[in-house]
């Protein structure tokens, strides 16, 4: 076989592979963005309710699965342990799709340098997103 022909075929195969990978990445990114719509307003609503003392309202933004594992008192103790009142800013990370759920790391920041990362897992319930898990990322 001619060496030039082999190189030409190899170059085209490499370009085709790179194009397919780029297309797959683009489709995956668009799918993730479209599926995660509605999550940021839910997070805002959650923290607004917690800040205004409407703990029951925030608790009802969780799934039945969450409420079956974490009762209201445990939820209140968890929130109290986070000391949310010292945080002023919220920064949302990049959502990750995993088995029909979206996982999003939210970083709460103080006016200084201190930050508290929390992993929120969201599930769709009747076409609306609900919080299925809240945990510190290093917690098991």
CATH number at residue 61: 3.10.450.100
Look at residue 132 in the predicted model and tell me its pLDDT.
95
CB atoms within 10 A of CB 73: 8
Residues 6+ apart with CB under 8 A from 102: 32, 35, 36, 39, 95, 96, 121, 122, 129
Q: Is residue 9 one of the residues assigned to a domain?
A: no
The average pLDDT across 9-32 equals 76
Domain of residue 55, residue span: 36-135
What's the pLDDT band for 140 if we cut at 50, 70, 90? very low
Q: Is residue 85 one of the residues assigned to a domain?
A: yes
Q: Is residue 19 one of the residues assigned to a domain?
A: no
Q: Distance between alpha carbon 125 and the CA centroid of its chain, in Å?
A: 16
The pTM of the full predicted model, rounded to 2 decimals, is 0.71
CB atoms within 10 A of CB 78: 13
Kind plus residue range of the DSSP H or E element containing 90: strand 89-92
The structural domain count of the chain equals: 1
* 129 vs 99, higher pLDDT: 129
* 69 vs 19, higher pLDDT: 69
pLDDT tens figures, 66-113 = 999 999 999 999 999 988 888 888 888 888 878 888 888 999 998 888
Task: Kindly tell me the burial class for residue 120, based on how many C-beta atoms sit within 10 Å of its own C-beta (0-12, 13-18, 19 or more).
Answer: buried
Q: Is residue 21 one of the residues assigned to a domain?
A: no
* 19 vs 45, higher pLDDT: 45
State the Cα–Cα distance between residues 136 and 54, nearest whole angstrom: 22
pLDDT tens figures, 28-69 = 666 655 555 778 889 999 999 998 999 999 999 999 999 999
Question: Which residue in 73, 75, 80 sits closest to 62, CA to CA?
Answer: 75
């Amino acid at each position: 076989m001619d060496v030039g022909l082999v190189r030409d075929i190899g170059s085209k195969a490499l370009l085709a592979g790179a194009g397919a990978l780029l297309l797959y990445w683009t489709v995956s990114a668009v799918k993730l963005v479209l599926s995660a719509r509605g999550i940021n307003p839910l997070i805002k609503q959650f923290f607004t309710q917690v800040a205004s003392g409407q703990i029951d309202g925030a608790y009802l933004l969780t799934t039945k699965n969450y409420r079956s594992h974490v009762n209201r008192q445990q939820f209140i103790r968890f929130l109290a342990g986070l000391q949310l009142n010292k945080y002023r800013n919220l920064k949302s990370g990049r959502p990750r799709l995993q088995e029909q759920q979206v996982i999003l790391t939210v970083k709460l920041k103080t006016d200084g340098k201190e930050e508290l990362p929390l992993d929120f897992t969201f599930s769709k319930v009747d076409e609306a997103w609900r919080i299925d898990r809240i945990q510190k990322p290093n917690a098991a």
